[in-house]
Amino acid sequence: MKLSTVLPLAVLACAGSGLAVLSPEPDYQQLFAERDVDAAAQFLERRQQGIGGAGQNGPGYQTVPSVPFNGDDSLPYSPPFYPTPQTKGTSQKWKDAIGKAREYLQQFNQTEKVILTTGSGWERGPCVGNISPIPRVGFPGLCLMDGPAGVRGTDRVTSFPDAITAAASFDRDLFYKRAHALGEEFKTKGANIWLGPMMNVARTPLGGRNWEGFGADPYLNGEGSYYSVLGAQDAGVQATLKHYINNEQEHFRNEGSSNLDSRTEREIYLHPFLRGVQAGAASVMCSYNLVNNSWACQNSELLNNRLKTELEFPGYVMSDWGAQHAGVASANAGLDMTMPGDVLCCSLQEGSLWGGNLTTAVNNGSVATTRLDDMATRILAGWFLLGQDQGYPKANFNFFDKKDPATNQHVDATADHDKIAREVASAGTVLLKNRRNALPLNKPGSMAVIGSDAGPLYQGANYWPDRAQNGGLPYGTLGQGWGSGSTDYSYFFSPYEALQSRARKDRTGIAWNFDDFNLAQSVMIANMTDVALVFVSAESGEGYITLDRNEGDRNNLTLWNQGEQLIRNVTAVNNNTIVIVHSTGAVDMESFAENPNVTAIVWANLPGSESGRALVDVLYGDYNPSGRLPYTIGKNRTDYGTDVLYYNDTVTPQINYTEALNIDYRYFDTKNIEPRYEFGFGLSYTKFAYSGAWTQQVGSADNSWWGSANASTGLPEWLFQPKYEVTFSLTNAGDWDGHEVWQAYLEFPRSAGEPPKVLRGFGREKISKYNTKEVKFHLSQYDVSTWCNDKQQWLQPEGKLKVLIGASSRDIRQAVVLN
């Protein structure tokens, strides 16, 4: 492809490239001319001082732990584990696919096997990653596409709510349906491989890519992963579990070492991958960073041992884009496919660490022929597993040249997916506060809609590359985070548009102001209305784009564009102010959460294309809210106990997970810190009562099972069979039909060294008003176990185990002891 035919550099910037989006600094003086002079001056001052989302000099504070991770001077170390096990497949489906792959592979010569393993190179093909066709053996090639919330960088697709929004629904059925619809779109567009789900755990609220995943709890992430894989793969597309592993921050993602012990790894960060493997995911993407000072894509302990031996992952491991650092070392450590194939991502240079170099390595014996065969088998097995050998559509779009008539067929992939997108967005909206029956709205006479976050994306929905919207200035409502996890909007309903049409139906007078800095105008319109809706936001994204000095990770937890000030001004004149927040993660709400004139707070997460319509459904009670926070909103940044490592001038910054198991609510509980809104919290228009919890053992109590539970031989099926059954009743005691999201937390005996509560069950039950429903759930031997570092196996700790059932992590209504 000629350079001149491709998009400008800013759009091409590959995730791994470290290239920043080149947007000129706006002329603020000019932009603020004609506006509220005080607000403009304050904004500029804030920019200079580095306060607030809009303009920082640098991140809030430095967290380089002074104590070395090991308590001595040595750096954490990852042990060697060789060779890579040959894939064998645990289920019949996998066994059949592997069998077909082995048979087909007999037709391939060595060069052709190598072609399967090596991406064709950045921009060499229509997709973000491409495996070339091999016509001699009739192999059509593979198209790999971002991202976790829909097909990236093409038209006529749905921008589904981001995973963090789906997570807030706590609904496995919705996880499945969202992924199934999304998978159908990948297939319609001819993409074989979905580069999702993303399940890195939100270790700190500032992590730039938290919104691409399912929040701060491993169990919730695990269920998100499991049902997303099932949904997408049932639609025929191969799912990719990413990013393996410990890519929890964007600063230093290309050179930092995430350091952690093996218990923390297994109980927190590996768990979502385990669930994804159990769901049958075809592939795993290894991450950019190092883990315990060994690159994730050539870490034999993580790939050969943990993933391919302990979890018996039968599929293939692809590198993140440019995450491969050595040819032979990565091949022998268990990498199976290099993406996008170039030595360095992402440039139009020639050459690869594999390709011809892999052929040489196999010829000279540095990489065994059996290893190459295993790589190729694993890749082909994924293709057969999903039946993609049976006339799968070819890519009919061009990610690198969206306007090229020759390569873009503009196939409509959206079907009726707006329905599920809208439902997930509503189900993932969390009602945090509701006083004086402020909500649902009931035909108010007049309404003011205030804030840039309410309004349409005024330069067009796709003006900013990879949704890194605003370049430092308010641009319009926030529907997604920025980076490779974003999609181009094929359509978009802003809150304002949806509110306007609803207001017309109700004959509500509606006034608006989308200029965050024209406070006088906001005050003027809010002063005259029955209700004022103030929209505020905070964003983050992937580190290859720096937005307003936020290098992917947020620099602080304040609202962007002076949100706090906007709320303060509006509430001064309107005692029925409803605050709506769109955000990639927790923000500091202390300046307004308890303000009596803030009658309601609606946490709308990142809703995607259906933003406005889904929100209006909730605000007006057409959809009774049931969403719950998939992370904690703390009162202070320091309350989280973890932070991004922002500063370091060493070659390999050491990102020490010294908090171990204590992230998010686990830390708040351990330290007894009161959050503003706890993990799992959310209100409804109705009320639910919990009663009658009891438990019985349904599986064998025989702990001698554990004799055979050796981690190095895979995870036996019985480990995951139901062992306890817990039953309780839920009554809808209010006047509205609705859903209740219940949660079950385990309280381990103290000696187990666990945080006070860990999530091990949840569900979302639809119950009509005044009705009662009996709920049952199971806990497996795995669920009631912790990882024993000494014995290197899962063990059920001695002593009393309690199950705490409730409406949030701090609203426990029932408790039972497991016998």
Q: List, by residue number, the catalytic residues.
A: 320
- Under the criterion CB under 6 A, does residue 15 sit at the interface with ligand NOJ? yes
Of 269 and 514, nearer to ligand NOJ (C-beta) is: 269
Tokens of 661: 């198991």
Which residues contact residue 251 at a Cβ distance below 8 angstroms, ignoring those fewer than 6 apart?
543, 551, 552, 553, 644, 645, 646
Q: What's the burial of 691, exposed, middle or buried (CB within 10 Å: 0-12/13-18/19+)?
A: exposed
Q: Tell me, what amino acid is at 108?
A: F
In angstroms, what is the minimal distance from the CB of 211 to ligand NOJ? 13
Of 97 and 296, nearer to ligand NOJ (C-beta) is: 296
- Under the criterion CB under 6 A, does residue 633 sit at the interface with ligand NOJ? no
- Out of 13, 16, 569, 664, the residue judged to bind ligand NOJ by CB under 6 A: 16
d(CA 567, CA 533): 10
In angstroms, what is the minimal distance from the CB of 16 to ligand NOJ? 5
For the four alpha carbons of 220, 226, 231 and 237, in that order, the dihedral sign comes to positive
In angstroms, what is the minimal distance from the CB of 247 to ligand NOJ? 7
Specify whether the CB–CB gap between 182 and 194 falls below 8 A. Answer: yes
- Out of 321, 560, 685, 742, the residue judged to bind ligand NOJ by CB under 6 A: 321
Phi-psi sector, 785: left (phi>0), alpha (psi -120 to 50), beta:
beta
Helices (H), 106-159: 110-117
Alpha carbon 773 to its chain centroid, in Å, reads 32
Specify whether the CB–CB gap between 53 and 540 falls below 8 A. Answer: no
Of 218 and 322, nearer to ligand NOJ (C-beta) is: 322
In angstroms, what is the minimal distance from the CB of 607 to ligand NOJ? 21
In angstroms, what is the minimal distance from the CB of 543 to ligand NOJ? 9
What's the CA angle centered on 253, arms 249 and 255, to 5 degrees? Answer: 140
- Out of 43, 81, 139, 146, the residue judged to bind ligand NOJ by CB under 6 A: 146
d(CA 325, CA 715): 30
In angstroms, what is the minimal distance from the CB of 453 to ligand NOJ? 26
Of 193 and 804, nearer to ligand NOJ (C-beta) is: 193
Of 227 and 400, nearer to ligand NOJ (C-beta) is: 400
In angstroms, what is the minimal distance from the CB of 18 to ligand NOJ? 11
Which residues in the 374-433 window bind ligand NOJ by CB under 6 A? none
Of 182 and 812, nearer to ligand NOJ (C-beta) is: 182
Q: What's the burial of 802, exposed, middle or buried (CB within 10 Å: 0-12/13-18/19+)?
A: middle
- Under the criterion CB under 6 A, does residue 195 sit at the interface with ligand NOJ? yes
Of 213 and 682, nearer to ligand NOJ (C-beta) is: 213
Q: Tell me, what amino acid is at 648?
A: N
In angstroms, what is the minimal distance from the CB of 147 to ligand NOJ? 6
The mark string for 724-763 relative to ligand NOJ (x by CB under 6 A, - otherwise) is: ----------------------------------------
**In the structure, how many helices (H) and strands (E) does the chain have?**
20, 25
CA nearest neighbour of 482 among 8, 21, 18, 17: 21
Which residues in the 222-281 window bind ligand NOJ by CB under 6 A? 242-243
For the four alpha carbons of 458, 464, 467 and 471, in that order, the dihedral sign comes to negative
Judged by CB under 6 A, the number of residues near ligand NOJ is 10
577-583/598-603 β-pairing: parallel
What does the DSSP 8-state code read for residue 19? P
- Out of 155, 250, 267, 320, the residue judged to bind ligand NOJ by CB under 6 A: 320
In angstroms, what is the minimal distance from the CB of 576 to ligand NOJ? 43
Specify whether the CB–CB gap between 485 and 147 falls below 8 A. Answer: yes
Q: Which residue is nearest to ligand NOJ (CB)?
A: 15
Which residues in the 40-99 window bind ligand NOJ by CB under 6 A? none
In angstroms, what is the minimal distance from the CB of 243 to ligand NOJ? 6
- Under the criterion CB under 6 A, does residue 484 sit at the interface with ligand NOJ? yes
Peptide bond into 83 cis (omega under 30): yes
Which residues contact residue 736 at a Cβ distance below 8 angstroms, ignoring those fewer than 6 apart?
621, 624, 684, 685, 686, 769
Specify whether the CB–CB gap between 154 and 186 falls below 8 A. Answer: no
Contacts 24+ apart (CB under 8 A), 501-510: 502/616, 502/620, 503/447, 506/443, 506/444, 507/443, 508/443, 508/444, 508/445, 508/446, 508/447, 509/445, 509/446, 509/447, 510/446, 510/447, 510/448, 510/449
Of 320 and 617, nearer to ligand NOJ (C-beta) is: 320
Of 146 and 155, nearer to ligand NOJ (C-beta) is: 146
d(CA 381, CA 93): 10
Of 485 and 585, nearer to ligand NOJ (C-beta) is: 485
- Under the criterion CB under 6 A, does residue 586 sit at the interface with ligand NOJ? no
| Residue 258, beta-bridge partner list | 291, 655
Site residues, ligand NOJ (CB under 6 A): 15-16, 128, 146, 195, 242-243, 320-321, 484
